[in-house]
């Protein structure tokens, strides 16, 4: 009887102590990659990651044999994104600044800052579409191209892996001409192809 009472007393004291030690023990920090592997079914596995995309259209247009025309790659050469949950803060940047006329177009500078959201299309998340808004500034040698306003983007992505994917996007421009003060309304079809890397 005494032995049973001693075991019960030991359990009554030991179990709360063990639970308290477990709750106060320092938790081991799980890396982003381990969390990603834990949640394979999470459609937002890109959350809290950084991405950078480079416009590869000029290079691709030289490699594709049946492409004989000049592709309009747009003014955006680089896109940087920082995802928080399902939404991202994004910066679009592009420039062509030369001191001489090389006969291939006008000098320009483009800067866009905005927000974006990604939506998976397929269950394996290989394909996704994006939708976002940007405030943009476009400065060019051509007066009609100088503009300040908002840009609505619609994108499509194909993910080869979780860290490498290609994308393209269409954009609707609404703004004001910085020189003439008139409205600017333009739509760019998705001709530019970006190669993107997820940096974490």
What average pLDDT does the chain have? 78
The residue ranking higher by pLDDT, 16 or 123, is 123
d(CA 134, CA 12) in angstroms, rounded, equals 61
Q: Is this prediction's pTM over 0.75?
A: no
- Can you tell me the mean pLDDT for 61-79? 70
The residue ranking higher by pLDDT, 179 or 182, is 182
Q: Which DSSP string do the residues of 94-142 spell out, in sequence order?
A: EEE--SS--SS---EEEEEEEEEEEEE-STTSSEEEEEEEEEEEEEESS
Does pLDDT of 13 surpass 50?
A: yes
Nearest to 94 by CA among 107, 110, 105: 110
d(CA 5, CA 2) in angstroms, rounded, equals 5
Give me the residue spans of the domains in the chain: 43-198
* Residue 97: partners with Cβ closer than 8 Å, 6 or more residues away: 107, 109
Q: Which fold has domain 43-198?
A: Porin (2.40.160)
Q: For the stretch 68-80, what's the b/e string if a residue is b when 16 or more beta carbons lie within 10 angstroms of its beta carbon?
A: eeeeebbbbbebe
Check residue 57 and give its pLDDT: 86
Looking at the chain, the number of H-run helices and the number of E-run strands are 3, 9
88-128 confidence digits (pLDDT tens):
999 999 988 776 555 566 788 999 999 999 988 888 778 99
* CA geometry: angle 126, 130, 135, nearest 5 deg: 150
């Amino acid at each position: 009887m005494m032995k049973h009472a001693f075991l019960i007393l030991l359990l009554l004291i030991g179990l709360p102590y063990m639970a308290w030690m477990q709750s106060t023990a320092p938790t081991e920090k799980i890396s982003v990659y381990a969390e990603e592997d834990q949640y394979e079914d999470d459609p937002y596995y890109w959350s809290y990651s950084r991405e950078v995309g480079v416009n590869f259209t000029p290079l691709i247009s030289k490699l594709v044999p049946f492409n004989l025309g000049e592709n309009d790659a747009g003014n955006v050469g680089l896109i940087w994104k920082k995802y928080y949950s399902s939404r991202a803060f994004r910066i679009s940047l592009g420039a062509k600044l030369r001191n001489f006329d090389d006969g291939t177009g006008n000098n320009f500078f483009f800067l866009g800052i905005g927000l974006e959201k990604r939506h998976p299309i397929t269950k394996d998340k290989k394909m996704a579409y994006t939708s976002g808004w940007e405030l943009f500034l476009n400065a060019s040698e051509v007066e009609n191209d100088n503009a300040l306003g908002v840009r609505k983007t619609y994108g499509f992505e194909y993910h080869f892996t979780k860290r490498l994917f290609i994308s393209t996007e269409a954009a609707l421009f609404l703004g004001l001409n910085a020189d003439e003060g008139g409205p600017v309304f333009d739509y760019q079809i998705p001709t530019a192809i970006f190669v993107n890397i997820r940096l974490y």
